[in-house]
Amino acid sequence: MTEIKKYFDKNKDDRNVSCMMKLVHAVSSAGGKAYVVGGFVRDAILGKDNKDIDFEIHGLESGKIEKLLFEVSGSPALRKGSSFGVYGIKGYDFDIAMPRKEHCIGSKHTDFAVSVDPSMGVEEASRRRDFTINALMYDVEADEIVDCHNGCNDIASKTIRHVCDETYIEDALRVFRAAQFAARFGFDIAPETIALSRSISGKLVDLSGERVESEMHKALMKSDKPSVFFRKLVEMDAIDYWFPELSALIETQQAPEFHPEGNVFEHTMLVIDQAAKVRDRADDPYAFMLTALCHDFGKATTTFFNEKKQRLVAYGHDNAAKPLIDSFMDRLRLPNAVRAYVQNLTVLHMQPNMYVGNDATDYAFNNMFDKTKHAEDLLLLARCDHFGRGVQLDYARYESKLSAQLAKYRELMELPEATADDFMKLGVKPSPLLGEMLDMSHKLHLKGTPCQTAIKLTRNQFAKRIRMQNAEA
């Protein structure tokens, strides 16, 4: 009994699985054949969970399939998007497709001519798949894996291998898919697939930012070692157009006494692998991973050899990263909330470890925490930045100090603080002056000044301007 059969038997009372089984039997009774296709088959063999099930029905015309879908569910068949031959059922979470060929007729990902042929056969139908591990099919009634392109062997050897030269080059996104599958599954990419991917690197410019970002998202969020995604893109000559900020880091060297791992790209790859270990602890795991990826973009434009110190330095690289991050976010169509998160933590990313190392004041730590809504994520990033180096020092003291300082900051934020009403009771009118007074009183609060003392000090500091404001009124 295959793992897929075990899954269906175990979940036979699930409404989706129950409907699927009714459909399989109805298709068989009508003279057709139903196969489970795609990632569900691959992941079942790999022992990974995947509830996204797609069916392919062979041997029946579209009208007959639509009739069967209605009979087993009581709902009309839904045509999915603009892809002819792909159906869904209202209220159910699986797709049903007819065997089809796709032929590229333009540069956009929607520019494909689709031809449906119920009698095509499993080998021809599976040729449109990108990789052999995704071309596997499962014959539900026979409980057999149908493997027309040696996908099982490639799973066993941990290899990403394209199915067909002709179909592979028609969609350049497959270069990014090869890289993300390699990262997610810990597989290598076959040399012939690497070579073919290099041959179509010029087509990468025709892809949309949304599609590239989708593959990057999977690599960053579903992989234990997301660095593999970017390393494979470098190997396939696919890094420069969509990730020029990363490409620039390959040529950006670092002081070996602090970064024996090598250039900034190598450091960044180590940092994102560290970040993958703790991303589930972050407020926004995806934005956190992107920050780990972007945090040192500024080193490409700020690194130089300091004659006085006789070593490479990158002063101000935290702030210099801002326009580079903006370009990165624009290119990949990332939302503004993600952009704000990444910009915020990137600017602050050096401060936690630097402040501990320099034995900074409580006010310095409080001011740092006050500048972010994601204090815990900032400390996680600092940890990843520390361990993303070729030299490992004892970090326990840093973590203990940072944790204690964050606790102090939060205790302080629970104490009373001057408000706009406090100053308006002293005769200050709503104005820029009121904003300046609130800023000063907040800084005093961060220094641990009691609320009433902060109000008094602020009032005294701005007494002359308060009198002028009242006189003008």
Q: What is the pLDDT of residues 200-216, one digit of tens each?
A: 999 999 999 999 999 99
DSSP letter for 202, please.
Answer: G
469's CB contacts (< 8 A; 6+ apart) are 428, 429, 431, 433
Q: Sign of dihedral through CA atoms 191, 192, 196, 199? A: positive
The identity of residue 287, as a single letter, is A
Over its C-alpha atoms, the chain yields an Rg (Å, rounded) of 29
DSSP letter for 108, please.
Answer: S
> Would you call 462 helix, strand, or coil by DSSP?
coil
> Would you call 191 helix, strand, or coil by DSSP?
helix
Q: pLDDT value at position 258?
A: 87
The identity of residue 43, as a single letter, is D
Q: pLDDT value at position 28?
A: 94
The identity of residue 159, as a single letter, is T
DSSP letter for 316, please.
Answer: T
- Using CA atoms, how far apart are residues 429 and 423, in angstroms rounded to an integer? 8
CA 294 to chain centre: 12
Q: What is the residue whose two structure tokens read 């990902």? A: 109
The identity of residue 233, as a single letter, is L
Domain with CATH 1.10.3210 in the chain: 243-413
Give tens-digit pLDDT for 354-393.
999 999 999 999 999 999 999 999 999 999 999 998 777 7
- Domain 158-221: assigned CATH number: 1.10.110.30
Domain with CATH 1.10.110.30 in the chain: 158-221
Query: What are the residue ranges in the chain where pLDDT is below 50?
Result: 82
Residue range 243-413 forms a domain whose CATH class is mainly alpha
- Domain 3-155: assigned CATH number: 3.30.460.10
83's CB contacts (< 8 A; 6+ apart) are 114
**Secondary structure (H, E, C), 231-272:** HHHHHCCCCCCCCHHHHHHHCCCCCCCCCCCCCHHHHHHHHH
Q: What is the residue whose two structure tokens read 């600017």? A: 347
Domain with CATH 3.30.460.10 in the chain: 3-155
Per 3-state DSSP, the chain is made up of helix, strand and coil in percentages (nearest 5) of 55, 10, 35
Q: pLDDT value at position 459?
A: 95
Closest CA to 358 of 398, 389, 385, 388: 398
Q: pLDDT value at position 104?
A: 58
Classify residue 13 as exposed, middle or buried by CB count within 10 Å of its CB (0-12, 13-18, 19+): exposed
Classify residue 25 as exposed, middle or buried by CB count within 10 Å of its CB (0-12, 13-18, 19+): middle
- Using CA atoms, how far apart are residues 351 and 205, in angstroms rounded to an integer? 37
Closest CA to 30 of 62, 76, 65: 65
Q: What is the residue whose two structure tokens read 């909330």? A: 337
295's CB contacts (< 8 A; 6+ apart) are 268, 271, 321, 345, 346, 349, 381, 385
Q: What is the residue whose two structure tokens read 């990057």? A: 216
